[in-house]
Each structure stands twice: as C-alpha cells, then as structure tokens.
Structure 1
Amino acid sequence: MTWTSYAKGQFGLSWKVFWRNRRSTFIGFLLPVLLNLVIAAPLRGRQIGGVNAAGYVAVGLLGLALVTSFINLLNGVVARREDLVLKRLRGTEVPPTAIFAGQLGAGGVVVLLQALVLGGVAVGWFGAPLPADPALLLLTLVGGYLLFAVLAIALSGVTPSSEVAPLVATPVLVLCMFGAGVFSPVASLPEWLRGPAHALPLAPVVESLRTAWFGRDFGAESWEGGPLPHLDLLHGWTSAGPSLLMIAAWLAAVVVLARRLLRWEPRRG
C-alpha cells in the first residue's frame, strides 16, 4: 500500500468517526461556534483597537478551534494506541508519517470548516471586514494547526488511556482559552500574568490571525486604548513576523517532544 492510498483511507475513516461521535463533534466543531454566539454577539456595539469587538473575539475563536481539534486528536491517537492499531501499523511498511497523515488531514478540514463558519458570522452578522491578508491568515492557521496536532501526538505518549485524555487536555484548553487573548486582550490580565500569557502556544497564533484579518498591529491593544494603526500587506507581515517565529519555535519543540514521547504500544504492554 502506498503512502498516498493509506493516508487517503485513514482520512476517510477519521472523517466518518469524527461526525458519528457526538462528543467529538460537539467539542471539535460546535464548541467554538456556540461560544462565538454566546460571547462575541453581545459585543457587536463595542470596539477594541479600532475594530469591531465581536469580530475581534470571533477571530480569536478561530485560534481556539485549533485547541479543540487538539483535544479530539489526542483522544484519537490514544484510542488507536490502546486498541493496538498503532502497534500493528508500526510492524508494517507504512511510513510513520502516513499513519498520522489521514487523521491530521481530517482534523484540518474540520478546522477549515470552522474558519468558514466563524468568519462568515463575523462578516455577515457582526459587520467585520473581509480578511485584509488571506495568505497570512491561511499560513497562520496551517502553522497553528500543525503545532497543536503534533502537540496532541506528543502528549499521547504521557496519556495512559483514553479515559485519562480529558484530564491531560483540559489544562491546555483552559490555559489557552483564558490566557492567550481569545476573548479579551492579554493586556487586560494582571501585569504579572502577561509575560507567561504571551508565551502560551496559542497567543502568537491569535495575535497573527487578528493582524491578518484586520490589517492592524495587534499585540498591545486594550479595551481602553485607541485605534491601532492600519498596516499595508508588507508591514502586516513585518508585524506578524515575531508571532510566526514563535509559532515555528513552538512547532519545532513539540516535534522533538513527539519523537521522544510517542508510544506505539499500550502502557500495559
């Protein structure tokens, strides 16, 4: 079996399993959408940094969608390991990358659908503008997705069973949800928390997504501050450069962790 044919088969299987599992569908697809309606909608009459506050939060929830995909991928990898699927595949000629490619590909398409839904709501209902730099937006989404997908593979190695997976995933979700500027600027946090918050893996993703969408220099905005300066395409990439480098650094780190921590067999042997 070729790499492509195996990855394609795993994509189809992972796609069907995702939509048939109510828990994974709720967490991996509906949760960011529902939060968008509950939290962002009431902010339609406010502004932050010179942009629509509801759209600001909606774009932040694009980043949160990457974390909910991480939760489902973590559960999926652990379940496949416990069912001896990974052990059997490891004994075949299928390359390790192909073993995960289909599963990660299916998760990536789900994130893309979420981006279309959240972006459509932000533009059509909240009155946000169309993305100022679609190329930067797509690059950030891809980089952020790979970061959290590989993190899921890495943390599967320290997750003993699928029952324990929520205990491993929940701290990541909570930290990113409330500390990475998804709902409110990092500047609104106590000063002693701002440094650690900026170091969270989701923080540069959210910041770069907002810069790409609104074409402004995000990072130091606050509810009380004035409008942020507009950026042309070149200066938009310059502004997002540090965030993109941080995403790349995080991705490199989790790749190393995945190579060290990934287990192909259940802990029980």
Structure 2
Amino acid sequence: MGGTATLTARRIRISVRDTDALITSLLLPLMMMLVFIYFFGGAIDTGTDYITYVVPGILVLCASFGAATTAIGVSEDMKSGIIDRFRSLDVPGAAVLAGHVAASTLRNTVSTALVLTVALLLGFRPDATPAAWLAAAALLLLFLVAISWLSAALGLLARSPETAGGLTFLMTFLPYPSSAFVPIDTMPGWLHAFAGNQPVTPLIESLRGLLLGQPVGTAPWTATAWCAALLLLGVAASGPLFRLRTR
C-alpha cells in the first residue's frame, strides 16, 4: 500500500507539472458541454431542456477522456526506462499500475466535479435524493476505476505514447453512439442494437434517472455488470502484459 501511495503521488505531481495536458483534461469536457448545449441543443428535441438531458452523458464523456491519459502515462513510463529503476528497487508492477489508476481516478473525479459545477451554473437542476446522489457517484466512480485499469492495459500493449492514445479512441468514442446526446430511437435502425447494448448506455440512463428522480429499472445493475466486466478485463490483462513488457 505504501508503494502504491508513493507512486500515486508521483503521477499526481507529473500531471500537475504537465500544464498543457492538465488544462486539456479539465477544459475539454467543459468545451464539449458548451458546444452541445449552445450549438446543437436548440435543434435537438429530447422532450425536456437539453441541458437536463445531456449533462449525464457529458459526465461519462468526461470520464472517458480522462481515462485515455492513463494509457499514455503508462506507455511513457514503459518507454522511458523508469520501470527498470522501479524493479531494481523491488517495486512490484501492480503498485506501478495501481499508482497510475489511482492518480487517474483522482484527476478524473476533479474534472467531473468541475463539469457538474459548471452545469449547475448553466441551469442543470437535478432532483435527486441524497441516496440517489450517492448511487450516481458510486456508479461513476466504478466506471472511472474500470476504464482506468483498461487504459493501463492498453498502455502496456502500445509500443509508444502516440499508439496508446490511438488505442483509447474506442473508449472516448463510445458515448457518441449511445443515449448521451440524443435518444436512441432517433438513430438509424441498424444502430439501435449496438447503441442500446453497449457499456455506457445503461450507465448514462442510470445517471440520468438517479439525478433527475426518474425510474431507472434495471439500468444500474446492467451498468454495474458492465463496469465489473471492464474492470476484471483490465486487471486480468495488465499482469501478463506487464510481465511480457519487462522480461
């Protein structure tokens, strides 16, 4: 645990020093939210104020953008040779990767809180009970941890930071063919099956229902199952990939 805490602090310091990346990770989701609300919102009919509809999707998009930087950070460490120094100090690979994931989760939590704060200032009015707020936060945190571990695995798979950034494209793309920005039934029929049965759609529907005081049905359980599967995949793949890259 001590090693993980130390390596988490290391990644946080690196993130703070990398001003360009830090500003991008914090401001890009905000810019996306402003674009959708003010550029497209007037042309999209969701049956409610568009800001009310779109904010849960923006929160998930924010998490996806933030997790992509984890893959780049892991790939940079593998390429720089710092891992050899850690191994000489008997630092386990699990602690290195856990440090990346913990720092990514903390950074993404701050970014998500910033997006939600600005959304409230712009007119987003949730109607959630304290229990619903906790449930929504727990789901989003689980998603952050899951995709951060998956991103760490992709960073080990990539041979360069540039490739790592490309490999995470799917995670940053998934919110678009979902219910994040428009209702699924407005999409072409051939897209309905994918949009309705991919990981982020039940998560977005859960957040939307919980924050707006609407029925959520089985969406939270489906979202939890997806997040657990992604987390298991990321953790299970990271161990062998780390050993393969450092042997």
**TM-score when scaled to structure 2?**
0.84
Distance 1:90 1:201 in 2: 36
Residue type at the aligned position of 2:203: V
Native 8 Å contact 1:70 1:149 kept in 2: yes
Give distance in 2, aligned partners of 1:198 and 1:13.
39
Determine what percentage of the aligned residue pairs are the same residue: 21
Structure 2 residue aligned with 1:210: 208
In the other structure, the counterpart of 1:194 is 192
What is the CA–CA distance in structure 2 between the aligned matches of 1:94 and 1:130, rounded to whole Å?
47
Cα distance per residue 1:22-41 (max 9 Å; x no partner)? 44224422111111112124
Asked if structure 2 preserves the Cα contact closer than 8 Å seen for 1:157 and 1:263, the reply is no
Partner residue in 2 for 1:226: none
Q: How does 1:13-92 map to 2 (within 5 A)?
A: 13-41=10-38, 43=41, 48=46, 51-92=48-89
Q: Look up the SS of the partner of 1:164 in the other structure.
A: helix
Task: Using the TM superposition, give the Cα deviation of residue 130 of structure 1 relative to its aligned residue in structure 2, in angstroms.
Answer: 4.8
CA separation of 1:254/1:196 partners in 2, compared to 1, >3 Å: closer, same or farther? farther
- Superposition deviation, residue 199 in structure 1: 3.8
Question: Contact 2:70–2:155 at 8 Å: present in 1 too?
Answer: no
Report deviation, 1:238. 4.5
Amino acid at match of 2:166: L
Letter in 2 for 1:159: A
Give the 5 Å matches for 1:170-249: 170-173=169-172, 175-216=173-214, 231=215, 236=216, 238-249=218-229
Query: How many angstroms apart in 2 are the aligned matches of 1:114 and 1:204?
Result: 22
Are 2:226 and 1:254 equivalent residues in the alignment? no
Q: Contact 1:36–1:58 (CA<8 Å) still a contact in 2?
A: yes
Between the aligned partners of 2:234 and 2:197, the Cα distance in structure 1 is 14
Structure 2 letter corresponding to 1:33: L
Deviation string, structure 1 residues 90-128 (Cα, Å, up to 9, x no partner): 454434332223322222222222222222222232242
CA deviations 1:9-56 (Å, max 9, x no partner) are: 32232222223324422442211111111212453897635x432132
Is the 2:54–2:180 contact (alpha carbons within 8 Å) kept by the matching residues of 1? yes
Distance 1:137 1:147 in 2: 15
* Cα gap change, 1:122 to 1:96, in 2 (>3 Å): same
- Label 1:186 to 1:88 Cα distance change in 2 as closer, same or farther (>3 A): farther
1:27-86 Cα shifts (integer Å, max 9, x gaps): 42211111111212453897635x432132122111011211221100000000111222
TM-score, normalised with respect to structure 1: 0.78
> Are 1:77 and 1:153, in contact at CA under 8 Å, matched by a contact in 2?
yes
- Contact residue 55 and residue 128 of structure 1 kept, 8 A: yes
Whether the 8 Å CA contact 1:44–1:52 is kept in 2: the answer is no
Give structure 1 stretches of 5+ with no counterpart: 217-230
Work out whether residues 201 and 247 of structure 1, in 8 Å CA contact, stay in contact via their aligned partners in 2: yes
- Aligned position for 1:220: none
Amino acid at match of 1:194: H
Q: Which runs of 5+ in 2 are unaligned?
A: none
RMSD value, Cα: 2.7
Report the structure, 1 or 2, having the larger helix content: 2
The answer to whether the 8 A contact 1:137-1:208 is kept is yes
Other structure's SS at 1:178 match: coil
